[in-house]
Structure 1
C-alpha cells in the first residue's frame, strides 16, 4: 500500500475526508524490484527440481541417481527463496516494516542454502570426478540405480560389460554397448559445471538484494517509524483526571454569559422563541451551587489523598 494523505474539506457544515494516493517512493520501487528477482530465481530452481524429480527432460534419470543430494538441496533452497519472496512482497505492499525486517533476515538462510548447492557441486566437479564416480558405482549406487543409468546412457557396466554390470535385455556379457564410465563422466562434468556456475552467478545478485533490503526497508514510506505517538507521550487515566480537576477549578471561578433577549417577538405563530424564558437569577444560583459542590469534592479528594 502506498502513502495516503487525507485533506479535510468543509462542505455544508460537515467534514468530508478525501483520500489521495501518493506515488511510491524510490526506495519502495527498488525494494519491489529486488523482491521480484528473488521470486524469479527461486521459481526457476523449484521448476528445475520438480522437472528432474518427474523425469521430464533427457538425462533426468541419471541426475536423479548420481546427484540426488544436490536435488534435495536445490528444492530446499528454492522453497526458502519463495517463502522469502512472499514475506517481502507482503511487507512491501502493506508498508509493514516488521515484515520487511523478517524478509531481510530470511535472505541470509537463503544465501547459505545457495552456497550449500554451489560448493559441493564445484568440489565434485573439480577434484577427482572419475574416482568419485568409480567409488559411487561400486559402493553407493543400488542395482536399480545402475540399471537406470545404463538404460539412460545406453551403456553396460562401469568400465565394460563385465565390470559390475546389471543384466538387462540390452546389457549382457557379449553386448556391443560401451561401459558407462565415459558417458557418465561427460554427463556429470557438463551437469555439475552448469549447476555451480549458475549458483555462483546468482550469489552477487543475492548479496545485492540483501543490501537493498537493509537500506530500503525503513524507507518504504515517507513516514518515519509507524506514525504512532511514543508511549511516554501518551495520556493515561491519571493525566486525564488531573486535567479534569484543573478545568473544574478554572471553570468554577467563571460566571455564565447571559443570553440576550429578543428585541421583538416574532410574528409567526409556529416559531415562538419568545416563549423560552431565561431566568438569569435562577441560572446564576444553580451555577454557584454546582461550582461550590465541585470545589468541595475536589478539596475532599485531595485531603483524602494526603491522609493516605
Structure 2
C-alpha cells in the first residue's frame, strides 16, 4: 500500500536536487577548502610548527593577522552557505552571498600588502624594519631561526646571545632575511591572487543560484499584504451583516393538514358515486349473459 502511495494521498517521491543547488554546494565547498587551508597555515605559523615560522612571525606579523582574519571570515561564510543550501533557506543564502564580499576584500588586502612589500625596495624596507621596528627580542628570534648575527655583520645592531657575539663566525642576517622574505611574500601574494578568480566565480554562483535552490517560486508563502488578520475578518463580517439587514426577510410557510369537515372531502364523495354506479351496472349485465362474481 505504501509502495503505491496514491490510495493514501501521500507523495512518497523525494525531490532531486536542482542544478542550482549542486552548483551552490560545489561553490561553498571551494570556499570552505581554501578558508580551511589558510586557517591551518596561520595556526601552524602562530605555534611555530614549521621551519622559519619565527621569521614570518617577526617580519610579517601584520600579514599573519590578516591571513587569520580572512580565513576565519571564509570559514564562517562557508558554514552559513552550507546551512542555507542544505536547509533550502533563501535568507541564509542571501547572508552567504553578502559575506562573500568582505571575504573578497580581505583577500585583496593580503595580496596587495604582500606584493607591495615584495616588489618595491624590499632590501630597504628590511633595513628600516631591522633598525626601527624590530625589538631586541625580535632580532634575536630572527638570528636564531636563520643562524645569523646582526644585520650586515655581528657588529651592526646585533642582539647578543650564546651564538651571536662580536667575534662570531656567523654571517649577517641581511642576505638570508631578504631571500626568505622574497620567497615567502611571493608565495603569499601568488596564492592569494590565484584565488581571486575562484572567489569571484563563487560570488557569481551565489548571486545566480541562491534564489533557485528549490523549484518553488519565491518562498511558497502567501505575501503579507494578502494575508487575512482579525481586523479584516471583522470588517468583512460587518459588511456582510449590513447587506443582509437591507434584504427583506422571507416568511417561512407553516404546516397545513386536511380539515375534518365532510364538505371538503371531495375524494370521499367521488369514490362513493363510483360504488353506486357499479351496483347499478351489475343489474343491467345479467341479460347479456355476463355473470358478475
Range of TM-score over shorter length:
0.7 to 0.9
Kindly provide the CA deviation profile for residues 166-200 of structure 1, in whole angstroms up to 9, marking residues without a partner as x.
Answer: 11111111111100000000000000000000000
Instruction: Name the stretch that deviates more: 16-25 or 165-174.
Output: 16-25
Kindly provide the CA deviation profile for residues 66-90 of structure 1, in whole angstroms up to 9, marking residues without a partner as x.
Answer: 0000000000001110111111111
Q: How do 1:11-30 and structure 2 match up within 5 A?
A: 11=8, 16-30=9-23
Are the equivalent residues in 1 in contact too, given 2:39–2:71 (CA < 8 A)? yes
Which residue number corresponds to residue 271 of structure 2? none
Are the equivalent residues in 1 in contact too, given 2:149–2:159 (CA < 8 A)? yes
Which residue number corresponds to residue 141 of structure 2? 148
Residue 17 of structure 1: how far off its partner (Å):
3.1
Residue 145 of structure 1: how far off its partner (Å):
0.6
- Aligned pair in 2 of structure 1 residues 155, 237: CA closer, same or farther (>3 Å)? same
Q: Which runs of 5+ in 2 are unaligned?
A: 256-293
Aligned length: 247
Kindly provide the CA deviation profile for residues 105-151 of structure 1, in whole angstroms up to 9, marking residues without a partner as x.
Answer: 10000000011100010000000000000010000001111001101
With normalisation by structure 2, the TM-score equals: 0.78
Distance 1:86 1:118 in 2: 24
Are positions 1:88 and 2:81 aligned together? yes
Distance 1:247 1:30 in 2: 57
Are the equivalent residues in 1 in contact too, given 2:111–2:188 (CA < 8 A)? yes
Residue 18 of structure 1: how far off its partner (Å):
3.7
Q: Which protein is bigger by CA-based radius of gyration?
A: 2
Residue 245 of structure 1: how far off its partner (Å):
4.9
Q: Which runs of 5+ in 1 are unaligned?
A: 1-6, 256-279, 282-308
RMSD: 2.6
SS at match of 1:49: helix
Which residue number corresponds to residue 69 of structure 1? 62
The one of the two structures with greater contact order (alpha-carbon pairs below 8 A, sep at least 6) is 2
Which residue number corresponds to residue 238 of structure 1? 234
Are the equivalent residues in 1 in contact too, given 2:55–2:145 (CA < 8 A)? yes
Residue 8 of structure 1: how far off its partner (Å):
7.8
Residue 248 of structure 1: how far off its partner (Å):
8.1
Distance 1:180 1:19 in 2: 72
Instruction: Name the stretch that deviates more: 117-126 or 236-245.
Output: 236-245
Q: How do 1:1-308 and structure 2 match up within 5 A?
A: 9-11=6-8, 16-235=9-228, 236-238=232-234, 241=237, 245=241
With normalisation by structure 1, the TM-score equals: 0.75
